[in-house]
Amino acid sequence: MGKIIRLLLASVMVVALFTACSSKSEQAASPSKSASEGEAGPSVEKTKVVFSTGIPDDAWRRALEFFMNTANEKLKEKNIEVVAEYYPSEEEMWKVLPAQIVSGSAPDLIGLNNEGVLEFIINGTFTSLDGLIEEVGYDTSKLDAANVNGWKYEGKQYALPLTTTISALAVNMTMLKNAGIEEAPKTMEDLVKAALAVTDKEKGQYGVGVNLHEFHISQYLHAFGGGWNFGENMNSEGNQEGLQFIVDLFNKHQVAATPAQIGVNGDVDAFASGKVAMTTAGPWYVATLRDKQVDFEWKLVPIPAGTVQKSTLYGWALAMLDSAKNKEAAMEVIAAMLGEESYRYLAEERGDIPAMTSFVPTYEELYPEMKVVLETADTAVAFNYPVSANRFKTDLVTGLESVIFQNRGTVKDLLDKMAEDGYQR
C-alpha cells in the first residue's frame, strides 16, 4: 500500500489554473443546500461550518452524509455543526467557487481529489492546516504517512486524506460468456475482440461504454505509454495512440457508446444497465454495483495493456479554504469527519481504500474484487494535468468529441494544437 500512496505525491503536483472571477461565474447557478441531519435546529450560539463538494452518485452522497452526521454527534458539546452545500458536479463547483469567494458566500471546507490542486495552494485559495491540526490534537500518524505527505507543499499540510483510488476495467462477464469469451481482457487487443463479439446495436448493446471525460480518456493514454506530463510533450506517440484507440472504438470498430447515447447519466449507470460490457472504472464500482444488485456476473480487472500496463492512481481529501470564517471550528469538523468511524465505513460499506492504515486489511478482506487491481499499483501513474487544467480538460473533451462525432480534424491535429498551447497560463 505504501507504493500506492506514494504515487499520489506526483498527482498532487498537478497544476490547475484557478480562473479569475467573471460576470459569467457570478451568474452560475448556486449549489443546492442540504443540511446534515443533526439533533434539532441550530441555535444562535452554534457555529456552522459549510462543507462543499460535487456529488457524483447516491452512494458517495450517503457516505458523506454519514461522515457529517458522525461529526455532528461528536461536536454537539462544542456547539459546532457541519452542513453541506452539494454542487451538481465538481466542474460546476470550480465554476461557481471564485465568485463565491469574492462575495463572501464560499464554503469553509472542500472535498476533492488530487487530479489538480497545486494552483489552489499557490494562489492562496487553500490554507495550511499545520497549526490547526496541532490545536485540535488530530493524530495524523494513524494515516498512511506517504498519503499525508502527498497533500503537502513546501513542507506545509493543505489537506488530510480519506481515500486512495486506483483505476480498473469493469467487465460484464455474463455478456462475454454468452459470446463464448471466458476471460476478461488483458490487452486492448483482447478488449476490441470481446467488444466486437458482444455488440448488438439492434438490442442497444455495446462492447464498451466510453465516458468522454478526462479521467476516462487518460486511462487509455496511460495504457499506450502516454500521459499529460504537466503539459510537456502532449502530442507524444503514446497520447496519439491512446486517443486514436478511443476514436477507433467509435468509428472503425463501432463498438462504443457514451452514457448519453445509451440514455443514462454516467458510466456507472451505463454499466449497471447491462447495455455495455466494459468500461473504465474504479473501487467505487464495487459498492455501487452491490447496492444496485445487478443481475449479471461482473468483475474488476486491471486496465488492459496497450503497449504497456499502466493503471492510474489518485485520492480524495478534505481541504480548508483560506476564506473560512472560523478556521478553528472548520478544523474541528475535519478532525471529526476523519475519525475511525469514517474510515471503517469506507472499508466496510463504501468499498474505498481507506487512508487510515488500520482499516486497509479490512478493506482487502471485504472487497476481494479489487485484489488483482491493487496488484498493479507498483506500475501505476498519476494524472499530471498541466497548469491550466480546466481549459485543458475542456479542449481535450470537446476536441475529441469533434473528431469522433463530427469528423473534424484528426487526433494528431488536436494534440498538436494542445501541445502548442501547453496550458501553462
User: Per-residue confidence at 41, pLDDT binned at 50, 70, 90?
Assistant: low
User: Which has the minimum average pLDDT: 56-60, 186-190, 335-339?
Assistant: 56-60
**Cα–Cα dist 217/169, whole Å:** 13
Mean pLDDT computed over every residue of the chain: 87
pLDDT of residue 19: 34
pLDDT of 126 higher than 90: yes
How do residues 229-250 score in pLDDT, each as one tens digit?
888 999 999 999 999 999 999 9
CB count, 10 Å around CB of 103? Answer: 10
pLDDT of 33 higher than 60: no
**Cα–Cα dist 161/146, whole Å:** 11
Nearest to 15 by CA among 192, 228, 230: 230
**Cα–Cα dist 111/163, whole Å:** 11
CA dihedral 272, 276, 278, 279 (to 10 degrees): -70
Average pLDDT over residues 190-217: 97
Average pLDDT over residues 201-215: 96
Give the residues across from 54 on adjacent strands. 87
pLDDT of residue 25: 35
User: Which has the minimum average pLDDT: 198-212, 294-308, 371-385, 392-406?
Assistant: 371-385
CB count, 10 Å around CB of 134? Answer: 11
How do residues 391-410 score in pLDDT, each as one tens digit?
899 999 999 999 999 999 99
Average pLDDT over residues 38-52: 73
How do residues 291-313 score in pLDDT, each as one tens digit?
899 999 999 999 999 999 999 88
User: Which has the minimum average pLDDT: 34-43, 214-223, 332-341, 395-404?
Assistant: 34-43
pLDDT of 253 higher than 90: yes
